[in-house]
Structure 1
C-alpha cells in the first residue's frame, strides 16, 4: 500500500522541450515552458492527469494571432501559466496538472463575475459551488461551500478579491488542496499556512479579468489519432441582464411568449449562466440569491440531467442539515440510524424537511447549456418550484417549452440566451 501511495508524490520525467511554437499560416505563437525551483529542485509539472502521464505547462511568450478579424489574447496576459515561485506562497511540492486546470477553470468562470466579491470551489475541473454577493468574500465562500459540502472536500478555492482573515478561517475549517486569490491579507496568509499541505497561489492578474472578456484564446482539442481540432474559445454574450432575449416562438400562426424575469430572477440567471461557462456539458444549474443550489454535469440527455441534479440537491441539502445539527455527514447519520432508534428518528425528520424544502430548489432559477428538445425537462424542474429559466432556444419545440412555463402556477419566466454553452 505504501508503494501505491508513493506514486502520487513522485515526479514524472519531463521529456518536453523548453520552447513550443504553433504556426497558423504566416502567424506564429511562441510558448516557453514553465518550471519552478521548489525544495531545491527545478522542475515543471509533477505529472499530468495521472501519475504515469508526463506533462508540461507552457506560457505564451511571443507572437500574436488575428483570425477573421478577431484578435486573440496575447503575451503578457498569463494567469495560471504565468505563476512563478514568488506567486506560490506555499507550494509543498511541484504542482500537478489537475490542480492548475481546476484553478484555471475557476478563472474562466470568474472573468464573468467581476462586479461583486465571488468565490468558486472546483473539483475535477467542474464547479461544485459558486456564489457572489455584496456582503463580502467570506459570505460568498460560505454559500458556495454550502451548495455542495460533500464535493468541496479536497477541492480548489478561487476568489476574485483580496482574501481576508474571515475567508481564510472558512478555508481552514475544511479540507481544500488549493486556494488562489489576487492577494492575501497578512492575517489571512498566517491562518492559511497552518495547513502545510495547502497550496496557496497568488495570481495578481485576477484583478485584470474584466480586460480579458470578449478576447478569445486559441482552444486546441487533441484527438486520439493525433489530430487536432482548433477553435476560438467560448465567448459569453450574456454580460448583463439586458443581453437575454425574449423567449418567443411562432407555430401554426400562433405566437408563444414567456413571462419576463423579475430583476432578481434576471440577476440570478446572469450569475448562473456565467458559472455555466465552466461546467462540462450536458448540464443544468439551479441558483438562488447569487449562489448555486445544485450543478448537474456531463449527462447524455437533458431531462436525465435535470432529474439527477434534483437528486443531488436533495442529498446535499439533507447532508447540510445533518452536519449543522448533528456534526455528521448524511452517510454517517444513515449508518448510525441502522443501529440507533433516536438517530433513525433524526434522520427521518431531516428527510421530511428536505422533501418539504424540495432540496432547497423552491424559489430558484434554472439555466441549461443547451436548448430543451422536449418540455419534459422543464416540467420536471417546474415541479420543484423554480421561478425562471434561461436556455439557448432554437428547438423546433420551443413553443411547447414556452407553453410549459406559461401553464405553471404561478407562471414561470423564461428567456433565451441566443447561444449554446457546451464544454466538452
Structure 2
C-alpha cells in the first residue's frame, strides 16, 4: 500500500457550505471529478465549478424527498472497495463501480434545529442518514479514502495535494478519527433528544460529547494535562469571548464558571468575587461600583488573585475599582467601551464577555467522574422565595431581614459544604465553608468578619446585626449558638433535623427569627 494516495474523484455533499466553492474549485483545477447532490451541486454549478450529479453517476434518481440518494452500491462500493484487494477491484469493474477517493460531508443541522425549538417532525427530518453512512464508510476505508467532515479541514487537504499530489496515511487516519467522533456526537445529540421527548432524565445509555475549545497548559496542577471542551446550550465560559489577557488556565476556567453561576442568582446589579471556587464576597446595589465596595469589604484579603463576576454590562466606575487590585479574570455579559478602555491598561487581566446570563432555574445535568464511571445529577436549580419559607420561631423576620435571608441562602448554594453565610443589607459579611462540621464554618465566617472589620477600622465585627444562612440543617444547637455569638438576628436553614426543636428553642431564647426552607443546598 502506498502512503500517498492521489485524489481523482470526490463526493461532496454538505449542509454547511462555508468554503465549499473555493475548495471544490481547487479540486477541479487539479483534474478531480466532483460528484455532488442537491443544494451542494447547485451551489457549485452556480459558481461555474464542473460538477456531476450523483443521480447521473449512479443512474438512480433521488427518491423519497431526498431521503434516498447516496445509499446505493455505486457510491458505497466506490468508497469501501479496497484498492489492494484484487477481488474488490474486479467486482468494481464487473458492476461498473468507479472508485471515490475523497468524501466531504457535513451533516443535516439536527443540533441547530433542536436548539431553535423546532417542531418534532422538523427535528426528525433533520436527522441525517446518508451523511453518517458516507462518513463512516470513508473513515473505515481510510487506507485509500480521505474523509472531511468540517470546512476547517479543507485547506489542510489542499496543502497536502499541492505538496505531494495526494494525502498521507497519517493525515487520513487523523481525519478518520475526527469523522467517527463527529458521527458519535451527532448520534449522542439525537439519542439525548429522544430521551428528552420521553421525559427520560437518565436514559439507559448516556453519551457525552464536547468540542475541543482549548488545549490548556496544564490541569489543576502542573503535572496534570488538561483541555477545555464546549457543548453549548448555556451562557457562561463556553460562550464567552476573551477580549483581552493571558491564556486561561484550568483553575481560571473552573473558578470563573463558579463565579458566573453564583452572580446569575440575582436580579439586582450584583458582583461576586470567587477564590478557589468559593464566594468570598457577594453584594447587590443600585450601582455596580457600590456592589464591588460591599463585596470586597466582606473579605479584603481573598479577592487578590481572584475571579470577579458581574451580572450587568460592566461600566467604567466599577471597572476602575476592580482593576485597582490584582484580579485574574473578570466575566460579564458585556462591558461598555469606557470599561474596556480601563481594563485595557491591565494587559494580563483576562476579560470574558459571554453575551448573556445563564438561567439559574434552568435544568440540565451536571457530572462528576468516579473510578470506572461518573455520577450524573440534575442541576441544583432550586430557588426559595418569600412565599416558600416557614417561620418556626416566636418572632418572624422583618421585611429587611427576610430579604437578606433569601440573599444569603442563594449565596449559600454556591459555597462548599458545610456552608454558613452571614449577610447584611444585601451583601455578604462573613462566609465559611468546606469544613467537616458546621460549627467550624460558623466560627470561621465570624472570625473572617471580625478581621474584615479591623481592616476597615470599624468598631464591631461585620456580622453584628446580620442574618445567617446554612446550606443544611443544624444537627445540634451549637452551630446556631456560634451564629448568635457572631451577632446574627435571623436564620434561614432547611430544617429536618431530629433536634429541630432544640435548635428552635435556642433561637427563641436569643430572640432570633428562624425560617425553614425545606430545601438543602449541599455542594461538595
8 Å contact 1:112–1:274 — kept in the other structure? yes
Q: In the alignment, what sits opposite 1:265?
A: 401
Bigger RCO of structures 1 and 2 (CA < 8 A, at least 6 apart): 1
Provide the C-alpha distance between the structure 2 equivalents of 1:185 and 1:215, rounded to a whole number of angstroms. Answer: 28
Match of 1:89 in 2: 243
Which residue of the other structure, out of 211, 214, 226, is the alignment partner of 1:32?
211
Deviation at 1:367, TM superposition (A): 0.2
**In structure 2, C-alpha distance between the alignment counterparts of 1:139 and 1:196, rounded to whole Å:** 25
Asked if residue 407 in structure 1 is aligned to residue 523 in structure 2, the reply is no
Asked whether the 8 Å contact 2:421–2:470 carries over to 1, the reply is yes
Tell me if structure 2 keeps the 8 A contact 1:117–1:137: yes
Instruction: Please list, as runs of the form range in 1=range in 2, the aligned pairs for 1:239-388 lying within 5 A after superposition.
Output: 240-247=385-392, 257-321=393-457, 354=459, 357=460, 359-388=461-490
1:193 pairs with 2:193: no
- Counterpart position of 1:325: none
Give the secondary-structure state (helix, strand or coil) at the position aligned to 1:266.
Answer: helix
Task: Please report the TM-score for the alignment, with normalisation by the length of structure 1.
Answer: 0.74
Residues of 2 paired with 1:108 and 1:377: CA distance?
A: 28
Measured after TM superposition, the shift of residue 81 of structure 1 is: 1.5
Residue 130 of structure 1 corresponds to: 282
Contact 2:237/2:352 (8 A) holds in 1: no
Q: Is the 8 A contact 2:383 2:410 kept in 1?
A: no
1:344 corresponds to: none
Tell me the CA shift for residue 106 of structure 1. Answer: 1.5
Gaps of 5+ in 2: 1-176, 192-202
* CA distance, structure 2, for counterparts of residue 277 and residue 310 of structure 1: 19
Tell me how far apart the structure 2 counterparts of residues 153 and 418 of structure 1 sit (CA, whole Å).
36
Runs of at least 5 residues in structure 1 that lack an aligned partner in the other structure: 1-15, 36-43, 61-74, 248-256, 322-352
Using the alignment, how far apart are the partners of 1:213 and 1:158 within structure 2? 15
Q: 1:53 aligns with which of 186, 201, 224?
A: 224
RMSD: 2.0
Secondary structure of 1:360's counterpart equals: coil
Give the conservation status (yes or no) of the 8 Å contact 2:391–2:513.
no
Displacement after TM superposition at 1:230 (Å): 1.6
Cα distance in 2 for partners of 1:26, 1:152 equals 42
- In structure 1, which of residues 222, 233, 241 is the aligned counterpart of residue 369 of structure 2? 222
What does residue 162 of structure 1 align with? 313
Query: Going by fraction, where is helix more abundant, 1 or 2?
Result: 2
Whole-Å separation in 2 of the counterparts to 1:205 and 1:53: 32
Asked if the contact 1:108–1:277 (Cα under 8 Å) also holds between the matched residues in 2, the reply is: no
Deviation at 1:27, TM superposition (A): 6.1
Once residues 480 and 349 of structure 2 are traced to their aligned partners in structure 1, the CA distance between those partners, rounded to angstroms, is 41
Runs of 4+ in structure 1 off by over 6 angstroms are: 16-20
For 1:236 and 1:258, how far apart are their aligned partners in 2? 27
What TM-score does the superposition give when structure 2 sets the normalisation length?
0.60
Deviation, 1:110, is: 2.1
Distance 2:361 2:328 in 1: 31
**Shift, 1:124, TM fit:** 0.5
Q: Which one of 489, 494, 500 corresponds to residue 398 of structure 1?
A: 500
Shift of 1:26: 5.9
| Partner of residue 233, structure 1 | 379
How many positions carry a matched residue from both structures? 330
Whether the 8 Å contact between 2:235 and 2:355 is mirrored in structure 1 is no
TM-superposition CA deviations, 1:275-296 (whole Å, max 9, x none): 1121110110011000000100
